[in-house]
């Protein structure tokens, strides 16, 4: 387990506040869906109509969040895969988590222990790049008028009307 000082806040990087390494987040479903295709996480917020692109380290972080990893586990995984120190990784991770939270793509995971994930250090580590989340709103109006938003979770879509409707 890695031990190091980390000074972060939820909204910005600053000195004086400690990040909780045991914190976990989950995808804000059913409002948010995402898929990783060729190393890029494509994320859609169905309630706002915005869609997002996370590539490289941001895509890897999205994948680890989807697996239920704690902040500590994410840092350990990235430190084993990329050329960087845990403090630099934790600073970059905190910035991305703040973005994901501000766009309501993830929410805090309450209770339960993180899953037992196994990370193996790569023999040839890749250069670490700051994770970036790109936001697109150009299709927002189209996504909002799509009738898929009127999904009955129990019955699916399209659902035939019942006699009670």
Residue 158 in any domain: the answer is: no
C-alpha dihedral, 130 to 120 to 109 to 41, nearest 10°: 50
The residue segments making up the domain with residue 88 are 25-150
Query: How many structural domains compose the chain?
Result: 1
49-80: pLDDT as tens digits: 899 999 999 999 999 999 999 999 999 999 99
Residue 91 in any domain: the answer is: yes
Spatial distance between the Cα atoms of 33 and 42, rounded to a whole number of angstroms: 8
| Verdict on whether the full-model pTM lies above 0.85 | no
Residue 54 in any domain: the answer is: yes
Residue 99 in any domain: the answer is: yes
Residue 59 in any domain: the answer is: yes
Q: Judge contact between 77 and 96, C-beta under 8 A.
A: no
Quickly state the pLDDT bin for 90 (edges 50, 70, 90): very high
Spatial distance between the Cα atoms of 51 and 46, rounded to a whole number of angstroms: 8
Residue 163 in any domain: the answer is: no
């Amino acid at each position: 387990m890695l031990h190091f000082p980390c000074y972060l806040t939820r909204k910005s990087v600053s000195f004086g506040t400690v990040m909780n390494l045991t914190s976990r987040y989950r995808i804000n479903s059913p409002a948010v869906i995402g898929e990783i295709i060729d190393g890029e996480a494509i994320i859609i917020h169905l309630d706002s109509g915005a869609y997002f692109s996370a590539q490289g380290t941001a895509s890897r972080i999205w994948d680890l969040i989807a697996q239920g990893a704690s902040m500590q586990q994410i840092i350990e995984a990235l430190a084993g895969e990329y050329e960087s120190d845990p403090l630099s990784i934790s600073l970059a991770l905190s910035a991305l988590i703040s973005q994901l939270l501000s766009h309501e793509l993830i929410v805090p995971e309450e209770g339960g222990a993180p899953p037992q994930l196994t990370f193996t250090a790569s023999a040839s580590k890749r250069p670490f790049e700051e994770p970036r989340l790109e936001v697109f709103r150009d299709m927002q109006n189209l996504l909002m008028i799509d009738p898929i938003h009127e999904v009955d979770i129990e019955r699916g879509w399209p659902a035939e009307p019942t006699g009670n409707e």
